[in-house]
Structure 1
């Protein structure tokens, strides 16, 4: 099972917060998991393991200005959580969501939690409607196998700052080889069926970037017991064209 949901939050008072709250949201999530299932939290917190979940930065009605988020008590913000691990997905649906507290604290700032959004028709924010739902690996696999004819293009929307590790460097570019290398690795790690081993090679030789609307965004972070750091990722839409079509 793959799940994606949004926890809607309203500040109790007018607040000013740093724009980069992704680490605070990540820490809050792991604290909640630890309180409910310590064994699962230890598995998720393994230092060098690839995480089977994502936690968004605080979703806000207005973009930050000069690195600061300003929120009023009637503003609706939110945190999006996704999982592509079957055990974690079941835990989130059956235990985590029902046990959420009525108040959430991020960087010592209290928010009132509203009803968790798990289906598109529940959200009052149009931009969030494509970001919630649940499906299975089997359903995704069957949907692709039924496609006739095969599409000639594929458009991907990178909503969060994205960067790839390639040959020891950080590369903020949506190259087909790097995109599908990461997707296939995660799919093969968690899905009951595996991607074709030649998918990465196919992406490199038979896919090209046709058009894009991208921009870079700076992300600041701080590792535990280390100095602050930063990287630049890209956000926006990118359309890939298949130079030839093969069904994998």
Structure 2
């Protein structure tokens, strides 16, 4: 069962910008895991390819539906002061991961300091129950995602909330083509759901609306160029309802798995949006 969880955090000392990068937050997640199961932490650290978790950049602002592009913070130009209310999204794709970390969820001590570089921070709460004001908190089984997916909805709108790019051959591209987007979703779905989809009709999917731009994310090791914003895709042609249902299930799955590269380090955070209901 995939989970998208939000942790509420408060730093007890300032967090320097150099420790707000994806690799430091990736390391913090593995530290949390290792605190209850060192073997599991080592296994996740050594995993290659599509890892069974994602983390977000650290957020200091509440999610807002008023933002035109519905983007999140992906880098900080200034340090985060002590006692700032922060939130941090973690998603788990493997069916067993949430259960393996039960002791972590049950025994979080809000007075226990965790370390992000030289800063101490406390985990105040962990949110796992969906609420209207928490768009990044959700959990449904893979079977439920599939069963709840529409077999008639032909418009799919995806919001790229943090910079997203895809590997094509030896190079990266920030362009969210149908092949890049839906193959990325399909690869993760097939790996973790136990419900493999066959012959998704990508040739029938075309972009119908774009409101995107590129952003550069830099740290001491690399430069990352990705797309943010919103793209709507439309399914054309005489497509059987079962295939439409599978495409919709993949789009609904995006909030858990993200898209493209470096999702375990905060990039590629994506969720489906409904333009029709003015979300």
TM-score bracket, normalised by the shorter chain, equals 0.7 to 0.9
CA distance in 2, matches of 1:15, 1:33: 21
The answer on 1:165 being equivalent to 2:167 is: yes
Q: Which residue of 2 aligns with 1:86?
A: 95
The answer on 1:132 being equivalent to 2:134 is: no
Contact map agreement 2:73 2:162 (CA 8 A) in 1: no
The answer on 1:112 being equivalent to 2:122 is: yes
Q: Which residue of 2 aligns with 1:95?
A: 103
CA distance in 1, matches of 2:15, 2:46: 34
The answer on 1:21 being equivalent to 2:21 is: yes
Q: Which residue of 2 aligns with 1:225?
A: none
Task: Give the structure-1-normalised TM-score.
Answer: 0.83
Report how far residue 89 of structure 1 moved.
2.4
Q: 1:151 to 1:192 in 2, by over 3 A?
A: same
Contact map agreement 1:52 1:85 (CA 8 A) in 2: yes
Secondary structure of the 1:131 match is: coil
Runs of 4+ in 1 over 4 A off after TM superposition: 13-16, 62-67
Contact map agreement 2:159 2:230 (CA 8 A) in 1: yes
Q: Which residue of 2 aligns with 1:175?
A: 177
Once the two structures are superposed, residues 25-80 of structure 1 have per-residue CA deviations (whole angstroms, 9 ceiling, x without a partner) of 11011122123212222321225332010011111229879952343445311211
When the two structures are aligned, how many residues end up with a matched partner? 230
Q: 1:212 to 1:65 in 2, by over 3 A?
A: closer
Q: 1:12 to 1:157 in 2, by over 3 A?
A: same
Contact map agreement 2:15 2:117 (CA 8 A) in 1: no
Contact map agreement 1:18 1:68 (CA 8 A) in 2: no
Point out the structure with max Rg over C-alpha.
Answer: 1
Report how far residue 177 of structure 1 moved.
0.9
Task: Give the structure-2-normalised TM-score.
Answer: 0.74
Once the two structures are superposed, residues 92-137 of structure 1 have per-residue CA deviations (whole angstroms, 9 ceiling, x without a partner) of 3x2222233432321211223211121234x9xx4xx110121100
Q: Which residue of 1 aligns with 2:252?
A: none
More divergent stretch after superposition (213-222 vs 3-12): 213-222
Secondary structure of the 1:69 match is: coil
Secondary structure of the 1:184 match is: helix
CA RMSD of aligned residues (A): 2.5
CA distance in 2, matches of 1:119, 1:69: 32
Q: Which residue of 2 aligns with 1:216?
A: 214
For structure 1, the 5+ residue unaligned runs are: 223-227
Contact map agreement 1:64 1:70 (CA 8 A) in 2: no
Once the two structures are superposed, residues 151-185 of structure 1 have per-residue CA deviations (whole angstroms, 9 ceiling, x without a partner) of 12100111121110012210101111111111111
Q: 1:68 to 1:59 in 2, by over 3 A?
A: same
